[in-house]
Amino acid sequence: MKFFIQKSGCGCSSVPQADSCGCSATLEATDSCPNCSKYGIAVSDVTIKSQLKKEYLETLADRSGFSFCKNPQCDTVYYKDKLSFSQSCVRNKVTVKNDDPQTPLCYCQKLLKKDFFEMIEAGEENIPAKLREIIARGKSFCEKSNPKGVCCTDDVKAFVESHGLTWGECRPAARTNKLFSVTAKPFYAYRSKI
């Protein structure tokens, strides 16, 4: 199976599409959402298998070729041609579509919107830096964990900025080889079982 390891950037080790930073690594969908007509991003069969609830997954003969609708106002999460799956068909709450405090910001590290609000209430400083540190901590498996199939950083950045905080620069050089060597081994082991 072909996949890419993100060697630099946001600290995430499993962004499927190589990108200069990794934080915006997405592959534009070639077709638009049947619900809102906006173009989403392509997701892999691995993401579909991990995210769709069992009863909907069982209806699919072919899990490939799906796209993720990133429009916050649209209830559709995945689509392919005329076929679409709404939020109720997906195991995880979707960051850009769900205001519930229990909605994850970083799926791999189980960082919730609730955690962000608690930081605000506690009057913590440098919250964006703390969030970045949490996201980069431990191993990442975004292709399976995140309904979008890629690193959460773009969406966390947009969420933080929508609450009046400045996310700051995402600097690829800030991530060290040490972090990569820690995350890479479990990731390879993980993927080899698929």
Q: Which two tokens stand for residue 13?
A: 């080790």
Nearest CB to Zn ion, comparing residues 58 and 81:
81
CA distance 52 to 70: 16
Closer Cβ to Zn ion, 25 or 33, answer by number: 33
Tell which one of 8, 44, 76, 95 touches Zn ion (CB under 5 A): 76
Q: In angstroms, rounded to a whole number, what is the distance separating the alpha carbons of residues 55 and 93?
A: 17
- Say if CB 1 and CB 15 are below 8 A apart: no
Q: Which of residues 5-34 bind Zn ion (CB under 5 A)?
A: 33
Nearest alpha carbon to residue 151 among 2, 4, 62, 25: 25
Shortest Cβ 128–Zn ion spacing (Å): 28
Q: Does 87 bind Zn ion (CB under 5 A)?
A: no
Query: Is residue 89 within the footprint of Zn ion (CB under 5 A)?
Result: no
Nearest to 111 by CA among 124, 128, 89, 91: 128
Nearest to 189 by CA among 52, 13, 42: 13
Q: By CB under 5 A, tell whether 41 contacts Zn ion.
A: no
Residue 139 tokens read as 């191993």
Binding window for Zn ion (CB under 5 A); candidates: 64-72, 85-93, 107-115, 128-136: 64-72
Q: Which stretch binds Zn ion (CB under 5 A): 10-18, 66-74, 89-97, 99-107?
A: 66-74
Among 5, 36, 174, 184, the residue binding Zn ion under the rule CB under 5 A is: 36
Q: Tell me the CB-side half-sphere exposure of residue 141, using CA atoms within 13 A.
A: 17
**CB of 34: closest distance to Zn ion in angstroms?**
8
Residue 2: HSE in the Cβ half-sphere, 13 Å Cα cutoff = 3
CB of 81 to Zn ion, least distance (A): 14
Mark the segment that binds Zn ion (CB under 5 A) among 61-69, 104-112, 140-148, 154-162.
61-69
**Interface residues toward Zn ion, by CB under 5 A:** 33, 35-36, 69, 71, 74, 76
